[in-house]
Structure 1
Amino acid sequence: MATWMITGANRGIGLEYVRQLLAGGQQVIATARAPEQADALAVLQSAHPGQLRICALEAGSADSVAALAQALAGEPIDVLVNNAGMYGGSWATDAAAQSVVGMDYALWEEIFRINTIAPFRITMALAPQLQLAAQPLVVMMSSDLGSIANNTQGQSYAYRSSKAALNMVTRGLSHDLAGQGISVVSMAPGWTQTDLGGADAQWPVVESVSRQLQVIAGLGPDDSGRFINLLGEEVAW
């Protein structure tokens, strides 16, 4: 039985990670900005007594990250899934705020703070807990939109650039944390039916997460630094 930590676990992909991991008998630490309002997590906690711990985390707050690390001091974490992130609405209705003619620069800064800086800060804050695991793994929730090579349509500048930068963080940490035995990968979850992806997206959330978990189960230290998708395929940087 492994201990997984999922950030941004109160909805979407994060919540489905929690559901499937609990069903598989794993121990889960789930974070949410407001645990008292995370009703779906509370239901899962009641259904799986002793398996799920719900913790408060504001991913963009250094104080909140530090408080979480202190609360978890001495507790091994086998897999950290840095899932918490933001687009700023949905691809279908809010993309204009990230366009060449309508860029919301304050939003761009916020997206970078949540999608790029926060996963780095969280990973480093929890490195001591990861080092207590036998074969620790950090999964950075990236996106196909973060692929520079595959950008054939422009748009979504803030989100794209934040995920491309996250991929660079992944690659850097794969080197810097290798001596601590910590592996780091970027995961592209596919165009998924979340608030961001919309109802017309290719992958239902249940299937996206199921496929991601299958891929993660097969990863080892030799995979550190990779950018892969839910099918286990390499994604071009």
Structure 2
Amino acid sequence: MATILITGANRGIGLEHTRQALATGDTVIATCRHPESAAELADLADKYGDNLRIEEFDVTSGESACALVGRLDGTPIDVLINNAGYQGPGTWNVEANFQALGSIDYDIWRDILEINLLGAMRATEALKDNVAASDRKVIIMMSSDLASIGRNTIGTTHSYRTSKAALNMLAKGLAVDLEKEGVTVVALSPGWTQTDMGGPKAIWTVEESVTNQRKVIAGLGLEDSGKFYNLQGEELPW
């Protein structure tokens, strides 16, 4: 069985990854900013006991990252899922104004970049040795279909798009950096999913999205490192 560390594990896609991994017998290190208020994770801890470890981790804080590394004390991590993300206030149905040309909210844009891009790098830099010490050695950058430059035909959503496109570049660069360690780094789009972020009109339920993601992750090897996939295992254009 694998050990999986998930950032932003208290809700949405991260919480469902936690549920499904535990159900198959994996060990999960579920991280979030406020474990004390993560009621659904607490319920899972009651059910699965030592197979679930809940840890405080704010991906915007270097101090928080260092503290997590110290508590993990070299624990091997087979799969690191950099899931913690932010698209700004609201869902896709109401968020357009602050990301649209002519009405950009630059403070929100900075927050989005801090979490989606710098946060993923901060987590990876902190935990890369734990990943390299494992059997599977996989790092997932949770990207988006909206990150594809080649598929951008409608514009808008500039803040979120640019954060995830930059994350894709980071995934590619880290794949090169970590190749000698045998670590696979992949950008993975979860599809438009019915989370608090995606809204109720999204195409995929959370359960469907994560089930498909897990199939893709299970099949990854070094030959996939530095690539960008969707939840159906199709390679996406940058």
- Given the two structures, how large is their TM-score scaled by the length of structure 2? 0.98
How far has the Cα of 1:65 moved from its partner? Answer: 1.1
1:55-79 Cα distance to aligned partner (Å, 9 max, x none): 0011111111111111112100000
Q: Distance in 2 between matches of 1:67 and 1:154?
A: 40
Q: Secondary structure at the match of 1:203?
A: coil
Which structure 2 residues correspond to residues 8-157 of structure 1 after superposition, within 5 A? 8-89=8-89, 90-157=91-158
SS in 1 for 2:95: helix
Report the Cα offset of residue 135 of structure 1: 2.6
Alpha-carbon distance, 1:198 to partner: 0.8
Identity of aligned residues (%): 51
What's the offset of the Cα at 1:165?
0.1
SS for the counterpart of 2:94 is: helix
CA contact (8 A) 1:144 1:190 kept: yes
User: Does the 8 Å contact 1:174/1:183 carry over to 2?
Assistant: yes
Dislocated runs of 4+, deviation >2 Å: none
Give secondary structure in 1 for the equivalent of 2:55: strand
Q: Deviations over 1:160-213 (max 9, x none)?
A: 000000000000000001111111000000010011211011000000000000
Which runs of no fewer than 5 residues in structure 1 stay unpaired?
none
* Residue 5 of structure 2: aligned partner: 5
Q: What TM-score do the two structures reach when normalised by structure 1?
A: 0.98
How many pairs align? 237
Cα contact 1:135–1:181 (8 A) shared by 2: no
The aligned counterpart of 1:193 is: 194
- SS in structure 2 at match of 1:140: strand
Asked whether the 8 Å contact 1:87–1:111 carries over to 2, the reply is yes
